Amino acid sequence: MRKIYSNNNVALVWHVKNMLQQQGIEVEIRNDRLYSVAGEIPVSECMGEVWVINALNYQTAERLIGEMELLCMPEFDSWVCHACGEEVDGAFALCWNCQAAPTGQTSDISD
């Protein structure tokens, strides 16, 4: 048995567990109820953990978790609106000032 994942967000720990089980990988959760004593004991020891039961599944589980983390953390560059010249944070699909889409993209939002 090997620890594959830990996080202070118990919901993410359970999400990883469910995702791996759906792929036929047997896992076990540990420390999922220790968040309430964080501060009494070191926070790093209170983090929820996912353990892979069969070590032969470890690499597959590691790959699946890596893919999940990449999908959860998109990075977008800021862009300058072609219509009004305002700088827009990359998290926005439309200009905050004039609601124009970035060059080369169309918006699904209609007036």
> Looking at residue 85, which CATH number applies to its domain?
2.30.30
CB of 88 within 8 A of CB of 80? yes
Provide the residue range defining the domain that includes 18. Answer: 2-72
Do 66 and 80 share a domain, yes or no? no
Q: How many domains does the chain have?
A: 2
- Return the pLDDT at 58: 94
Q: Based on the domain organization, do 57 and 8 belong to the same domain? A: yes
Same domain for 54 and 6: yes
Per-residue pLDDT of the chain (111 residues; tens, 9 = 90+): 999 999 888 889 999 999 999 999 999 999 887 767 767 777 777 888 999 999 999 999 999 998 888 766 556 778 899 999 999 887 778 888 898 888 755 444 444
Give yes or no: residues 51 and 80 share one domain.
no
